[in-house]
Structure formats: structure tokens, C-alpha cells
Chain A
């Protein structure tokens, strides 16, 4: 069965610094991978997704993620964070015609 692990429960970075959030997945075939963001008390918004093709995926709000099959990873990056990026980030993995499995989330804190 597929699974997804986000090793960091909390991450704190200074405003303007670069960001990388880690995501590792377990799945036998090529997975479908997603990153969502959730502001406090709100629903989830899709940042980006990977289905196939180019392993570097561009998303909204200046985020990108890179699929590395050899490392079973799909890490999320942003070159310079803004205070408005403070939120909880969820990585998710799914298989064709199956449910999506969400990680437990990483809460991002931004220092002024």
C-alpha cells in the first residue's frame, strides 16, 4: 500500500530565506504526487502536482517541487519565503483510480 511521510512536523525560517519541505513516499509504481497548503481554519489549496514528464514541477505562489524516483522523494521548495507563506503543508500520494493518501503535514513558521 502506498504511504507518505513528512519527517518535519514544524519548520521555522526567516522571511526572505529559502525553504525546503521534505516528503518521502512509498509506492510500487510511478506515483501521482501532490502538495497542498492549508491556512489556519481553512480548507486545502493545491500548490502543485506531478503525474509524469518533467521531474521539476512549478506551482502557484512561487513554489516548485522535484520528483526523485531514486530517493522516493518529492520535496517542496521556494527560493524566498514571505510572511504569508506561514501555513501547514501537506504532501499526498495516490495511485491511478485509487484514493489519495495524505501525509501528516509540516507547519511552517516565518520569523520576521
Chain B
């Protein structure tokens, strides 16, 4: 089955540690996205990538980093510089960047808790 996988489902981190969230898709989509979800805040865009080896900052990129070395993979690193990292993180992909073609398809999410 085609889809998007995120791992792990739950992640605990001590303050001061970096942590990497995995996102893999086998939909052959060019574009991939990372969102952060907090209660009552909806989804906020952290980073997006339109194509391999290219990515751009979203609305709340501070304290996060990404890479896009392979088309199917878009890992997100939450660094110690992120002041309030406890949240639910969602990865998405779409055939092409933008909204004029296919819509975004979402993974099941990773819940990160800082202890």
C-alpha cells in the first residue's frame, strides 16, 4: 500500500538533546512538508521541500532543521534551540508543490514530549 510513515509514534527527549523524526513516503511525490500541531492552534508549517536537495523555511522554522537527500525521505531534527518542542508533528506530501494539483497526504504523526 502506498502512503506516508512516521516513526516513532511517541518520542521522549530530555532538555538540551537533539532528536530526529522520521518521515518516509512511497507515493513518488515530489513535495514534502512538516507541520507542528498544538491544541487549539491548528497546523503550522515548519519546513517544506519542493524537490530533492531543496527545502525552504515555513512559518516556524526556528529551532528545527531538515534534509532531503532522497525523494522518499524528509527527516526533521528538533534541536535544543527549540524553546518549546513538546507537540504533535505531522509530515505530509503532495505530487507537486502548491495547491493547483494533488492535495497533501498526511502521515500518522509523532508525538514529541520533552521531559
Contacts and interface: CB of A to CB of B under 8 A. Distances in A.
Interface of A: 9, 32, 34, 36, 41-46, 49, 51, 90, 94-100, 102-105
Interface residues of B, number: 25
B28 interface: no
A31 B104 CA distance: 16
A9 B104 CA distance: 23
Contacts of B40: 9, 104-105
Given A49-B103, A98-B99, A99-B58, A44 B90 contact: yes
Contacts of B111: 41
Contact of A45 (B35, B45, B88, B106): B106
Interface of B: 4, 6, 35, 40-43, 45, 48, 58, 88, 90, 92, 97-100, 103-109, 111
A100 B99 contact: yes
A32 B99 CA distance: 7
